Amino acid sequence: MAVTRRAFLKLVGVLGALATGGARAEGTVAGGTVAREGEAARDRRHAGHERGARMSSGEDAGGAASASGLPTRELGQTGRRVSVLSLGGVTYNQRSDADAAALLHRALDLGINFIDTAHDYSDSERKIGLVMRERRDEVFLATKSTRRDRAGMRAEIEESLRRLQTDHIDLMQVHDLDNERELARLTGPDGGLKTIEEFAEAGVVSHVGVTGHRYPAVLVKALEEYPFETLMVALGAMNAAEHPFYDEVMPTARERGVGVIGMKAMAHGWFGEEGMVQDALRYVMGLDGVATALVGMDTVAELEQNVRVAREFRPLTETEQTALLERAGRMYRSRPRKAWFIHRYRGILSRLRRLLR
């Protein structure tokens, strides 16, 4: 399946090149806006991939352990291993450049090798780029775009590359897909996936994924209609208690060899406030088929605490899991209007934001 996906993207890009008179054969993508990577850039990326492949050693309950002691797992059929704890960049716009860089450096030193951000995360990409210019080869770097059209997707990918100070993106994701109309636009002749395919054929994008917060049925349909390689979805205990995704999306993801990334492990910080961090992390890391728990971490102390949990990972017992889900459900029901990260109406707000562009 992994070969089939990569072959699919390559074939689409080749057909696109033929349709545009061989423009990419001359070293450009999509009308000449992005230069084809040179051999030096390809060599750097290949060296980084080999370095990532050498990270694992012995087995433990969380997967293969990296040299740092942080377990790693296969990310679907991408051929890449990622740390069971990954770093989300959504709050970096609230940190100073120096604080964000210190947190990133420490995360890499501790063995985290998957960093996720998004074009829409304000200043996050630029701040991550300050570290990527020094340590790019140590990272499986992911970003996202909310644009569904071909031109808009191209503009955001180009800007993300500049902000991140890199010549390639390991994982380019469709950000927050929440209805079938958007999916149809993405997969249409002038859809944003055409742009991702062009960047993939040029060697600028390695893998393609999709993310979603609210509508699991839409994500299942997306996996059925397009060969996405990864799925980032809300799998935290509070989602499981009140708006579950896992049972609906996992059969299709597993059948297609899709790498699953679990987000919302901390319920937007609620679990940290209640001293539930360890069990919340163990819950997401213990879900069968989940490659990594994606967590936004604001301080080095918080990062080090979460890394300790990941290094010592053991799945929750049935009793522990039942207690966690019951407590998470009570927390949600005590203040449902504040749980914006679960409310379905957030999908309406995100669609309005995109329509206003």
The model carries a pTM of 0.82
**Bridge partners for 72 per DSSP:** 64, 83
Under CATH, which number does the domain 41-355 receive?
3.20.20.100
Q: Could you give the CA distance from residue 345 to residue 336 in angstroms, rounded to a whole number?
A: 12
Which band of pLDDT confidence, cut at 50, 70 and 90, is reported for residue 202?
very high
Q: What is the pLDDT of residues 35-78, one digit of tens each?
A: 444 344 445 444 444 444 443 333 334 567 667 789 999 999 99
Q: Cα(171)–Cα(79) distance, rounded to whole angstroms?
A: 12
Other C-beta atoms closer than 10 Å to the C-beta of 309 total: 19
Question: What pLDDT digit, counting tens, does each position of 210-227 carry?
Answer: 999 889 999 999 999 999
> Which residues, listed in sequence order, are joined to residue 65 by a DSSP beta bridge?
71
Name the nearest CA neighbour of 179 among 207, 145, 148.
148
Per-residue b or e along 3-42, where b marks 16 or more CB atoms closer than 10 Å to that residue's CB: eebbeebeebbeebbeebeebbeeebbbeeebebbeeebe
pLDDT per position as a tens digit, 10-34: 454 444 444 433 333 333 344 444 4
Q: What is the mean pLDDT of residues 284-305?
A: 95
What is the distance between the alpha carbons of residues 107 and 61, in angstroms, rounded to a whole number? 21
- Cα separation values, 290 from 23, 158, 356, Å: 40, 30, 35
The conformational region for residue 165 under phi > 0 = left, psi -120 to 50 = alpha, else beta, is left
**Burial of 118: CB neighbours in 10 Å, binned 0-12, 13-18, 19+:** buried
Q: Is 177 left (phi over 0), alpha (psi -120 to 50) or beta?
A: beta
- Structure tokens belonging to residue 268: 């937007």
Q: How far is CA 345 from the centre of its chain?
A: 23
> Tell me: the pLDDT tens digits for 237-267?
988 988 889 999 999 999 999 999 999 988 7
